[in-house]
């Protein structure tokens, strides 16, 4: 129990999210989600569109607060944090990877990777060194000075992954990271996640694709705002294959 | 977050929208340029006026005999209305005596640097050989030379001995020396010439030659006669009186001439309390300069107000474009928030951006305004003198505009819901 407590990274209990509270069109999107993610796990949340998985991710990513329920991230009760503190937790504990990459326009790759460190107050030199290292790791060493507009989708997503790692976050939240990519570049991105997971990063993948979910260690299915199933994948064969390829 | 990074980000975003940034700045540029141009021209004009008045003697106070007014009405702005009693000519008893002047000199002591008295004696024509010159002789105190900025080219001012001993010394003009003896000023010292004053013919000896003011207008008008100055006491003896209708006082270093002028007037008016028609008045160039400066200041203020309205319009333009920019960059704002930007750092980013737009606009405006102002001053024939205070003030003011008009859009950006911002198309 003690080690379990220590290894627990995300702990969600009875998370309910309602919109338009008090209005005739009041809407409950999440109906009491209980969920845990432990350190070093590669977990996927699978659901069709409209299932509430995006709302769940917003809650997990501290972009939105639950209406009811308790949520602990790395032992921190988010009920007790104000907006500025939530910004700090987002900055330090969470690395976002979006389907649409969301690189800051007119800002080159290395500056984009530096951004989270900028908000963390990391000194310039250290920032640049770390960003270079991360871009090298995702195979973008030769495009550091490129603007987002000059990069392909796959390249943008690799820069985004490098950016998500900037402050050594406890968890990477990837929302449909391959959704806008073709299968080949999608593969490169997925392999990158496997590699990061093997290095010990906790990754939470939100996807509608069962195929991708099968690559992860544990699949949480969500439908109509409730968890409908949870399954540990016995052996993620593609991960090993991917590693063998690289 | 660091200020430097914000400034760098602001420049990045301005570079991305160069023409739009420039158009936005236009309002600020025009506003600031007009303020600076007006200030420069106004400053040049008032400097020119002040210096030309100063050359006439800003610390000089004219004291003169004047007729008493009746039914005086003094307006709030100091202008006095009133009629003058139908004039009886001033008689000997009405004139200012040397004793009054001496009394004044003793009373105000150090506040007075020099007393300039000029007693007109006579006009004459001097002949040396075949050469002749028309002269106008007057007796002066040594203070006269100081009060009228007359420089000597050769020789000396009157010595105490000449003043009191009634020596027949004379200080003459450069042109008279040329006309009569056709020599340089130095060689004229010691030369004698004959004059007739009050039916007394006498010899005067040149002890000094003064430099004539090269004023084309004046020399055209009175080119026929040049002034010859003799010691005041000699003049008094020749005219058999020690009475004057006016004289000048040069205020001492650091003394307020306007105040001294008033005190002198009050002091001397004391002697005229029982005089039915006459009294003493004084006039001081400094107060003229002051009121001129006040007037220029008022005009500058009025025009600056109009320029201020231009700046206000410019500021609204900046606010407008910042709102557009915030909307355009909604996704970027959402992304930044997801990456850990606090509301305060988003707000700071946009405020700095708007301040930089205004500061760049202000700087261009200052440059343009200085150019226009210099051109304007040159066309009017004055030396351009930009006012440093207004340059500094304009730059600070333009930043303040950026802050004021940037706050609302920046706050809008800061308060955005990150989820909606991230999904914004």
The answer to whether residue B364 is domain-embedded is yes
Q: Averaged over B227-239, what is the pLDDT?
A: 84
Count Cβ neighbours within 10 Å for each residue of A179-199 and write b for 16 or more, e otherwise.
Answer: bbbeeebbbbbbbbbbbbbee
The answer to whether residue B201 is domain-embedded is no
Per residue in B4-18, pLDDT (tens digit) is 888 888 888 888 888
Contact flag B340-A104 (C-beta cutoff 8 Å): no
The answer to whether residue B334 is domain-embedded is yes
Whether the per-residue pLDDT at A4 is higher than 70: the answer is no
Q: How confident is the model at residue A235 (pLDDT cuts 50, 70, 90)?
A: low
Q: Which positions in chain B touch A58 (Cβ < 8 Å)?
A: 419
Asked if residue B353 lies in contact with residue B322, where contact means CB atoms within 8 angstroms, the answer is yes
Q: With an 8 Å Cβ cutoff, is B343 touching chain A?
A: yes
Asked if residue B61 lies in contact with residue B264, where contact means CB atoms within 8 angstroms, the answer is yes
Task: Provide the shortest C-alpha distance from residue B341 to chain A (in Å).
Answer: 6
Give B 393-422 residues with CB within 8 A of chain A: 418-419, 422
Q: How confident is the model at residue B286 (pLDDT cuts 50, 70, 90)?
A: confident
Q: How confident is the model at residue B57 (pLDDT cuts 50, 70, 90)?
A: low
Lowest mean pLDDT among A41-50, A120-129, B79-88, B352-361: B79-88
Nearest-by-CA chain A residue for B12: A106
Whether the per-residue pLDDT at B77 is higher than 70: the answer is no
The answer to whether residue B375 is domain-embedded is yes
pLDDT at B79 (0 to 100): 61
Q: With an 8 Å Cβ cutoff, is B344 touching chain A?
A: yes
In the structure encoding, which two tokens stand for residue A197, read together?
A: 């997971």
Whether the per-residue pLDDT at B232 is higher than 60: the answer is yes
pLDDT at A10 (0 to 100): 94
Q: Averaged over B80-97, what is the pLDDT?
A: 67
Q: With an 8 Å Cβ cutoff, is B338 touching chain A?
A: yes
CB-closest option in A102, A107, A116 to B340: A116
The fourth-level CATH superfamily of domain A3-232 is P-loop containing nucleotide triphosphate hydrolases (3.40.50.300)
B195: alpha, beta or left? (left if phi > 0; alpha if psi -120 to 50):
beta
Mean pLDDT for all residues in chain B:
82
Contact flag A119-B332 (C-beta cutoff 8 Å): no
Per residue in A158-187, pLDDT (tens digit) is 999 999 999 999 999 999 999 889 999 999
Contact flag A119-B341 (C-beta cutoff 8 Å): yes
Task: Provide the shortest C-alpha distance from residue A184 to chain B (in Å).
Answer: 26
Task: Provide the shortest C-alpha distance from residue B296 to chain A (in Å).
Answer: 50
Nearest-by-CA chain A residue for B349: A119
Whether the per-residue pLDDT at B284 is higher than 70: the answer is yes
pLDDT at B74 (0 to 100): 60
More confident residue, B11 or B218: B11
Q: With an 8 Å Cβ cutoff, is B325 touching chain A?
A: no
What share of chain B has pLDDT > 90, as a percent?
Answer: 21
Task: Provide the shortest C-alpha distance from residue B345 to chain A (in Å).
Answer: 8
Whether the per-residue pLDDT at B217 is higher than 80: the answer is no
Asked if residue A52 lies in contact with residue A222, where contact means CB atoms within 8 angstroms, the answer is yes
Per-range mean pLDDT, top range of A84-93, B43-52, B184-193? A84-93
In the structure encoding, which two tokens stand for residue A105, read together?
A: 């326009």
Q: How confident is the model at residue A145 (pLDDT cuts 50, 70, 90)?
A: very high
pLDDT at B289 (0 to 100): 75
Asked if residue A57 lies in contact with residue A44, where contact means CB atoms within 8 angstroms, the answer is no
CB-closest option in A83, A102, A163 to B331: A102
Lowest mean pLDDT among A156-170, B295-309, B331-345: B295-309
C-beta contacts of B196-202 below 8 A and 24+ residues apart? B196/B122, B196/B124, B197/B121, B197/B122, B197/B124, B197/B137, B197/B238, B198/B122, B198/B238, B198/B239, B198/B240, B200/B238, B202/B168
Task: Provide the shortest C-alpha distance from residue B418 to chain A (in Å).
Answer: 6
Asked if residue B420 lies in contact with residue B78, where contact means CB atoms within 8 angstroms, the answer is no
Chain A residues within 8 A (CB-CB) of chain B? 58, 61, 63-64, 83-84, 87-88, 90-92, 96, 98, 102-107, 115-116, 118-121, 163, 167
Q: With an 8 Å Cβ cutoff, is B340 touching chain A?
A: yes
Beta bridge partners of A172: A95, A203
In the structure encoding, which two tokens stand for residue A202, read together?
A: 């906790």
pLDDT at B377 (0 to 100): 86
More confident residue, A239 or B360: B360
Q: How confident is the model at residue B98 (pLDDT cuts 50, 70, 90)?
A: confident
pLDDT at B55 (0 to 100): 67
The residue to which tokens 């029982």 are assigned = B274
pLDDT at A8 (0 to 100): 86
Query: Measured on CA atoms in the order B161, B98, B102, B96, is the torsion positive or negative?
Result: negative
Pairing type for strands B131-140 and B118-128 reads antiparallel
Q: How confident is the model at residue A50 (pLDDT cuts 50, 70, 90)?
A: confident
Work out how many domains chain B is built from and give that number. 1
The answer to whether residue B345 is domain-embedded is yes
Distances (CA, A) of B6 to A49, B181, B312: 38, 81, 25
Nearest CA among A203, A199, A200 for reference residue A190: A203
Whether the per-residue pLDDT at A104 is higher than 70: the answer is yes
Task: Provide the shortest C-alpha distance from residue A241 to chain B (in Å).
Answer: 32
Per residue in A203-226, pLDDT (tens digit) is 999 999 999 999 999 999 999 999
CB-closest option in B12, B331, B340 to A119: B340
Q: How confident is the model at residue A32 (pLDDT cuts 50, 70, 90)?
A: very high
Contact flag A163-B345 (C-beta cutoff 8 Å): no
Q: Averaged over B189-200, what is the pLDDT?
A: 82
Q: Averaged over B387-397, what is the pLDDT?
A: 88
Contact flag B340-A167 (C-beta cutoff 8 Å): yes
More confident residue, B304 or A120: A120
pLDDT at B258 (0 to 100): 82
Range of the domain at B399: 3-53+292-422
Look up the ipTM and state it. 0.91
The answer to whether residue B62 is domain-embedded is no
Per-range mean pLDDT, top range of A152-161, B73-82, B212-221? A152-161
CB neighbours of B59 closer than 8 A, spacing ≥ 6? B113, B250, B251, B255, B257, B285, B286
The answer to whether residue B315 is domain-embedded is yes
Nearest-by-CA chain B residue for A85: B342
pLDDT at A245 (0 to 100): 42
Q: Averaged over B68-92, what is the pLDDT?
A: 62
The answer to whether residue B347 is domain-embedded is yes
CA–CA separation, A161 vs A142, rounded Å? 16
Q: Averaged over B329-355, what is the pLDDT?
A: 94
Whether the per-residue pLDDT at A140 is higher than 80: the answer is yes
Q: Which positions in chain B touch A104 (Cβ < 8 Å)?
A: 332, 335-336
Contact flag A119-B16 (C-beta cutoff 8 Å): no
CA–CA separation, B64 vs B56, rounded Å? 17
Q: Averaged over B53-71, what is the pLDDT?
A: 73
Per residue in B113-168, pLDDT (tens digit) is 888 888 888 888 888 878 888 888 888 887 888 777 777 888 888 876 666 655 68
Q: Is B277 helix (H, G, I), strand (E, B) or coil?
A: coil
| A to B CB pairs, distance under 8 Å | 67
Per residue in B157-168, pLDDT (tens digit) is 887 666 665 568
pLDDT at A241 (0 to 100): 46
CA–CA separation, A181 vs A179, rounded Å? 6
Q: How confident is the model at residue B259 (pLDDT cuts 50, 70, 90)?
A: confident
CB neighbours of B385 closer than 8 A, spacing ≥ 6? B40, B43, B44, B47, B377
Q: How confident is the model at residue A1 (pLDDT cuts 50, 70, 90)?
A: very low
State pTM to two decimals.
Answer: 0.70
What share of chain B has pLDDT > 70, as a percent?
Answer: 88
pLDDT at B310 (0 to 100): 84
Nearest-by-CA chain A residue for B335: A102
Give B 8-27 residues with CB within 8 A of chain A: 12-13, 15-16
Q: How confident is the model at residue A227 (pLDDT cuts 50, 70, 90)?
A: very high
């Amino acid at each position: 129990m003690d080690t379990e407590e220590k290894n627990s990274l995300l702990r969600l209990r009875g998370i309910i999210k309602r919109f338009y509270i008090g209005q005739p069109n009041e809407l409950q999107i999440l109906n009491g989600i209980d969920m845990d993610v432990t350190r070093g796990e590669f977990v996927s949340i699978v659901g069709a569109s409209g299932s509430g998985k995006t709302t769940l991710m917003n809650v997990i990513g501290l972009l939105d607060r639950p209406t009811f329920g308790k949520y602990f991230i790395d032992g921190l009760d988010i009920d007790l944090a104000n907006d500025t503190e939530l910004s700090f937790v987002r900055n330090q504990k969470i690395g976002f990877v979006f389907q649409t990459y969301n690189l800051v326009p007119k800002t080159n790759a290395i500056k984009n990777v530096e951004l989270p460190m900028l908000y963390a107050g990391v000194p310039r030199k250290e920032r640049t060194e770390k960003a270079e290292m991360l871009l090298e790791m995702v195979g973008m060493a030769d495009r550091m000075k490129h603007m987002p507009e000059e990069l392909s989708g796959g390249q943008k997503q690799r820069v985004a992954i490098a950016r998500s790692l900037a402050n050594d976050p406890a968890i990477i939240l990837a929302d449909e990271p391959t959704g806008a990519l073709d299968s080949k570049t999608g593969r490169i991105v997925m392999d990158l996640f496997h590699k990061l997971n093997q290095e010990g990063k906790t990754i939470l993948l939100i996807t509608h694709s069962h195929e991708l979910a099968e690559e992860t260690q544990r699949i949480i299915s969500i439908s109509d705002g409730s968890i409908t199933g949870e399954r540990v994948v016995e052996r993620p064969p593609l991960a090993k294959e991917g590693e063998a390829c690289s | 977050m660091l200020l430097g990074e914000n400034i760098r980000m602001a420049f990045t975003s301005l570079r991305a929208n160069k023409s739009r940034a420039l158009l936005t700045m236009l309002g600020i540029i025009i506003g600031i340029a007009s303020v600076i141009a007006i200030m420069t021209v106004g400053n040049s004009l008032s400097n020119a006026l002040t210096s030309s008045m100063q050359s006439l003697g800003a610390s000089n106070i004219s004291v003169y005999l004047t007729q008493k007014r009746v039914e005086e009405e003094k307006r709030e702005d100091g202008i006095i209305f009133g009629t003058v009693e139908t004039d009886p000519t001033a008689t000997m008893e009405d004139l200012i005596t040397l004793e009054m002047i001496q009394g004044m000199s003793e009373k105000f002591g150090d506040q007075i640097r020099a007393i300039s008295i000029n007693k007109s004696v006579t006009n004459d024509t001097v002949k040396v050989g075949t050469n002749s010159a028309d002269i106008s002789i007057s007796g002066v105190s040594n203070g006269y030379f100081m009060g009228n900025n007359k420089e000597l080219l050769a020789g000396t001012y009157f010595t105490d001995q000449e003043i009191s001993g009634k020596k027949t010394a004379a200080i003459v003009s450069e042109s008279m020396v040329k006309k009569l003896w056709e020599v340089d000023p130095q060689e004229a010292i010691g030369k004698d010439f004959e004059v007739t004053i009050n039916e007394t013919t006498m010899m005067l000896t040149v002890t000094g030659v003064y430099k004539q003011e090269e004023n084309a207008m004046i020399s055209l008008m009175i080119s026929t006669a040049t002034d010859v100055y003799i010691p005041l006491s000699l003049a008094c003896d020749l005219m058999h009186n020690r009475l004057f209708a006016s004289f000048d006082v040069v205020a001492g270093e650091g003394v307020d001439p306007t105040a001294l002028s008033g005190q002198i007037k009050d002091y001397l008016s004391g002697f005229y309390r029982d005089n039915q028609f006459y009294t003493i008045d004084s006039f001081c160039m400094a107060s003229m300069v002051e009121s001129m400066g006040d007037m220029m200041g008022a005009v500058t203020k009025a025009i600056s107000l109009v320029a201020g309205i231009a700046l206000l319009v410019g500021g609204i333009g900046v606010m407008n474009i910042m709102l557009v920019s915030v909307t355009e960059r909604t996704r970027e704002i959402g992304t930044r928030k997801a990456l850990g930007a606090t509301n305060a750092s988003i707000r700071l980013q946009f405020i700095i951006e708007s301040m930089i737009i205004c500061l760049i606009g202000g700087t261009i405006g200052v440059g343009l305004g200085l150019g226009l102002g210099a051109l304007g001053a040159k066309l009017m024939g004055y030396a351009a003198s930009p006012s440093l205070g207004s340059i500094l003030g304009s730059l600070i003011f333009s930043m303040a505009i950026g802050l004021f008009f940037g706050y609302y859009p920046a706050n809008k950006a800061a308060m955005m819901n990150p989820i909606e911002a991230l999904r914004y198309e």
